[in-house]
Structure 1
Amino acid sequence: MATTPLEPPPVELLDKFRGPDFLPLYTTTVSVSGGEARHGRASGEVRSDDGSLALSLRLPPELGGPGGGTNPEQLFAAGYAACFHGALSLLAERLQIPVQDFVVRVNVAFGRDPVDGMFMVTADIRVHLPGLEKRVAEELVRSVERICPYTKLARQGIQSTVALAP
């Protein structure tokens, strides 16, 4: 059985869009149920609408749980790192900057918000670009910050609605 090799998306994704409204290119739905503890964070079950994502959530020991599963912070860090890595790959290709074996590492922290006393999430992104001149690497990373949707989300917020399902 022959398999098609995996390829990156086309650089044309970086072409500017002009339009009055948001233009969705991909949409997914993920559901979380409460599991044994009836608490999504502590024992939730995660499922995507297409079935390709199926995970058990577990509260990490640092938050009083047993660990042994993934958690929302890891999922967010994975999404952020993958998105930033992909955006950097596309931009480097468009600018004809040779990048090889680079790594994007995202550290996500869940903690207390000093403003309202409740909770907040912080993210720290580190990009390792071996073999690239520092000035070029810094300029590339700054440019990627402007196009990565996760960085926009972290800096500008996200448009969201919350409603009771029928």
Structure 2
Amino acid sequence: MTIQHIDVAYTAVATAENGRDGRVSTDDGKLDVVVNPPKEMGGSGAGTNPEQLFAAGYSACFQGALGVVARQEKADITGSTVTASVSIGRTEAGGFGLEVAISASIPNVDTATAQALVEKAHQVCPYSNATRGNVKVELSAG
């Protein structure tokens, strides 16, 4: 697989302290959160976790990509939502991996059009491009 090169428009910078059981903040101070492993993984679940942060970023980014595609296709996505579900678990090799399910609700188009828009957005979204070939991503729309 060829690594894509980009013309950088923006760089986000975040720093973690104490890994999955600490704090994450951005250099501009707009994000400063406590992170803790979820109870399902033996943690306190008191703070957010990297999977929730990834799901938040992916869903927002995918919604933006959906907007780009909808404008190109002249489709009405007013009132649409995108939900990203990010799962973590052990891989066969013994490490950890992620799986993602993207679900889009697009009320102003039929199911076939919604699915086509989601498939096209998956080709545009930077998160989808970053995970392609590395992370299982399931898409659904309605």
1:96 match: 74
Q: State, as a whole percentage, how many aligned pairs show the same letter.
A: 37
Matched, 1:41 2:20: yes
TM-score (norm: length of structure 1): 0.74
Matched, 1:22 2:6: yes
Matched to 2:44, the amino acid is P
TM-score (norm: length of structure 2): 0.86
Paired residue total: 131
1:105 match: 83
Task: Give 1:57-136 correspondences, 5 Å limit.
Answer: 57-114=35-92, 116-136=93-113
Cα distance in 1 between the residues matched to 2:115 and 2:38 = 34
Matched to 2:35, the amino acid is L
Cα distance in 1 between the residues matched to 2:41 and 2:112 = 40
Cα distance in 2 between the residues matched to 1:28 and 1:58 = 22
Deviations 1:68-100 (A, max 9, x none): 210000000001000000110122123221111
Q: CA deviation at 1:156?
A: 3.8
Structure 1: stretches of 5+ with no match in the other structure: 1-19, 35-39, 158-166
Cα distance in 2 between the residues matched to 1:25 and 1:146 = 19
Comparing both structures, which one devotes a greater share of its residues to strand?
Answer: 2
Structure 2: stretches of 5+ with no match in the other structure: 135-142
Contact 2:36/2:46 (<8 A) preserved: yes
Cα distance in 1 between the residues matched to 2:111 and 2:44 = 42
Comparing 70-79 with 124-133, greater Cα deviation is found at 124-133
Cα distance in 2 between the residues matched to 1:62 and 1:135 = 36
Instruction: Point out 4+ residue stretches in structure 1 off by more than 6 angstroms.
Output: none
Matched to 1:139, the amino acid is A
What SS does the aligned partner of 1:41 have?
coil
* Greater relative contact order (CA < 8 Å, ≥ 6 in sequence): 2
